[in-house]
Amino acid sequence: MRILYCGDVVGRSGRQAVLERLGDLKARLKPDVVVVNVENSAHGFGVTAKMAEEFLAAGAQALTTGNHVWDQRDIIAYIETEPRLVRPLNYPRGTPGKGYALIDAGRGRTLLVTQLMGRLFMDALDDPFAGIDELLSRHRLGANLSILVDIHAEASSEKMSVAHFLDGRVSAVIGTHSHIPTADGQILPGGTAYQTDIGMCGDYDSVIGMNKSIAIAKFTRKMPTEKLAPAEGVGTLCAVLIDTDDATGLAKAIRPLRLGGRLAETMPE
């Protein structure tokens, strides 16, 4: 199975980078499943139902979120009716939506997409390690089932710990949230693909996708400033391309993709 996973979409620049290029990328790379993290799509804070529909219409088959999942009010009702929109698994029982989605990858294959939220320097949620253990007790890797785990967290140590905890039990553990692409894409000893952060889809002439002047003022003035807003220059699309073995579900390859904007481009062959 081939999976294309696009990192955190930030504002209009990020939306354009994904929506305008996704068709060509699907034709060129031929992924079986496309997943997009959309949690910063709506002016940097959350995603609207309309935007989620645009990503799905453009060819995404699953959408992940993160700590900004509830920032747009209309998403609360929408997430109850759209199973392809995934919120973090380790929210408390009774939270709207689901923490995973089962996506038809064709030819009898299925991709389970789930997301965990870290707890270091973030809101205190339920234990992500216990949450994923419970989910994996019901869905076993292999026999045409691949499993993609998004770890949405601040600390690289927490992301790496989740990856090694799950090594050999899932196809890939991929980090989001920090908006900076890391150079550590690898296959762990047990066969799980890992990268600490995909990077964002957005304008890199910014502070993690947000207007740099406003962000700098927040650090230097220590006084109320205008609300953070996304930078609106040309966006870079950051993604990873993951290949898995249909029989075992384990990873065969993980490769970075960067296209457009300010970062040096790299395209999987």
Task: Give dist(CA 227, CA 211) in Å, integer.
Answer: 10
The secondary structure of 38-68 as a DSSP string is: -TBTTTTS---HHHHHHHHHHT-SEEE--TT
Q: Nearest-CA neighbor of 241 among 1, 5, 8?
A: 5
Give residues with Cβ within 8 angstroms of 142, minimum separation 6.
247, 248, 249, 250
**Which amino acid type is present at position 179?**
H
Q: Nearest-CA neighbor of 166 among 96, 221, 116, 93?
A: 116
Residues forming the active site: 68
